[in-house]
């Protein structure tokens, strides 16, 4: 999926089931190293990022295979504590493995992680947290070398509620001596899902979803079967697809409570929003209205991972909208690409001023990152004519077969090699 051609003009209508959450699956896959018995994961999405994580686990000696729709990971065969350079730099979430590899082998050797270039994502909170658990860490030659034969529980205070750092310290603390308390922890639903998995394996974790998480260290866990939560970002993307094409889409097998920040914005835009126990439906029969002000914040605030998609919707809204990006300073790369399609926006540092236009037109654009690529795909669906998205393989880092899903809803996304 190097390039894709998106044909504009069709309304998205129908139902689509949410895939499993990428942002929940990756730390859970890292957590499989904490036990030496097989783990069966249900609803684990088939994505490039998940595939990269599985290859890293295999390089450490884990046995990984698909059993129908389930994914089985057996880390009982794992023997290696050195993370491969090339794979790790492809995947930002490889940093999660630092805590779990250190816990499993009492040492870990990892390169600095990669991922989308959406801004400065320092790992100092990860490393300072691990040091507070009595890990010895040396940063040299582009690698992070850790030793932790005697990891010990501690009170870890974060200056910022980092999702990745919260999850990494949770993983390192599960088998540490004593009790660890994480304060100012991130509260995202994916952290609650990680806690659910860890508890299913016999570890003692409580408080996820609040700013204080408590982990009581135990020496061993056990195998389990666990269903990964639905992806709230994918859910939100296809709901925005309904709004931007003046369509009517229901996303099923999802959790409406995890996308409330978006649903309130869609309601303010003039969309009809219907919540069900395990589904959400969004319909729009006219051009949406602008939303005066939106800023990205840690959960339960508006998610940075849905900012580019909302940005695109506001690009065709009636009126002027202001969007402030508080999480990643380079997450407006889609703005210039949207201008190629006729959008009217100005970027001032971390603030975007968006004046809605009546219609976008097809153009050749570039997906600079995962969520920006998804935003351009939505733009192409509502544009006049065809839109060619280059480097569209980045979209498949987080969306499972987006061409098939959009096709089932009445849109057209064609792979170009």
Count Cα atoms within 13 angstroms, Cβ side, for 78. Answer: 34
Residue 116 is among the residues annotated as catalytic for this protein: yes
Measured distance CA(411)–CA(12) in Å, rounded: 6
Contact between 326 and 350 under an 8 Å Cβ cutoff? The reply is yes
Angle ∠(52,54,60) on CA atoms, nearest 5: 110
Which residues, 6+ apart, have CB-to-CB distance to 124 below 8 Å?
Answer: none
DSSP string computed for 128-191:
HHHHHTT-EEEEETTEEEEE-TT-B--EEE-SS--HHHHHHHHHHHTTSBSEEEEES----HHH
Measured distance CA(116)–CA(123) in Å, rounded: 15
Crossing angle for the helix pair 163-173 and 189-200, nearest 10 degrees? 10
Burial (Cβ within 10 Å: 0-12, 13-18, ≥19) of residue 159: exposed
Measured distance CA(218)–CA(227) in Å, rounded: 23
358 closest CA partner among 315, 387, 298: 315
Contact between 151 and 174 under an 8 Å Cβ cutoff? The reply is no
140 beta partners: 143
Which residue is catalytic, options 44, 116, 187, 201? 116
Q: Which residue has the tokens 């394996």?
A: 201
Query: Active-site positions?
Result: 116
């Amino acid at each position: 999926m190097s390039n894709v051609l998106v044909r504009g003009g069709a309304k998205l209508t129908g139902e689509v089931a949410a895939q499993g959450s990428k942002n929940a699956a990756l730390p859970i896959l890292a957590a499989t190293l904490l036990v030496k018995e097989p783990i069966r994961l249900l609803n684990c999405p088939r994505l490039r990022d998940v595939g990269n994580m599985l290859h890293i686990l295999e390089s450490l000696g884990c046995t990984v295979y698909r059993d129908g729709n389930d994914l089985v990971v057996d880390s009982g065969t794992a023997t290696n504590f050195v993370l491969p350079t090339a794979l790790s730099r492809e995947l930002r979430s490889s940093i999660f493995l630092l805590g779990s590899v250190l816990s499993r082998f009492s040492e870990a050797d990892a390169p600095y992680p990669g991922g989308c270039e959406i801004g400065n994502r320092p790992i100092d909170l990860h490393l300072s947290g691990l040091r507070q658990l009595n890990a010895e860490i040396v940063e040299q030659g582009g690698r992070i070398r850790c030793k932790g034969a005697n990891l010990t529980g501690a009170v870890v205070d974060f200056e910022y509620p980092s999702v990745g750092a919260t999850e990494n310290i949770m993983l390192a603390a599960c088998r540490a001596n004593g009790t660890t308390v994480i304060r100012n922890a991130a509260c995202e639903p994916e952290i609650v899902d990680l806690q659910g998995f860890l508890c299913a394996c016999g570890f003692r974790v409580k408080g996820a979803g609040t700013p204080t998480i408590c982990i009581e260290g135990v020496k061993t866990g056990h195998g389990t079967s666990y269903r990964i939560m639905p992806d709230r970002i994918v859910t939100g993307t296809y709901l925005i697809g309904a709004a931007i094409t003046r369509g009517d889409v229901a996303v099923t097998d999802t959790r409406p409570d995890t996308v409330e920040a978006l649903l309130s914005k869609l309601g303010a835009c003039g969309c009809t929003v219907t919540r069900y126990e395990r589904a959400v439906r969004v319909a729009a029969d006219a051009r949406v209205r602008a939303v005066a002000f939106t800023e990205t914040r840690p959960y339960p605030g508006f998610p940075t991972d849905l900012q580019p998609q909302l940005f695109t919707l506001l690009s065709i809204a009636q009126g002027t909208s202001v969007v402030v990006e508080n999480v990643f300073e380079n997450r407006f790369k889609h703005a210039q690409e949207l201008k190629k399609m006729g959008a009217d926006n100005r970027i001032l540092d971390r603030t975007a001023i968006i004046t809605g236009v009546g219609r976008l037109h097809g153009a050749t654009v570039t997906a600079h990152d995962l969520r920006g690529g998804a935003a351009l795909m939505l733009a192409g669906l509502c544009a006049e004519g065809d839109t060619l998205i280059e480097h569209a393989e980045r979209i498949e880092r987080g969306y499972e077969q987006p061409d098939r899903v959009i096709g089932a809803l009445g849109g057209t996304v064609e792979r170009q090699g």
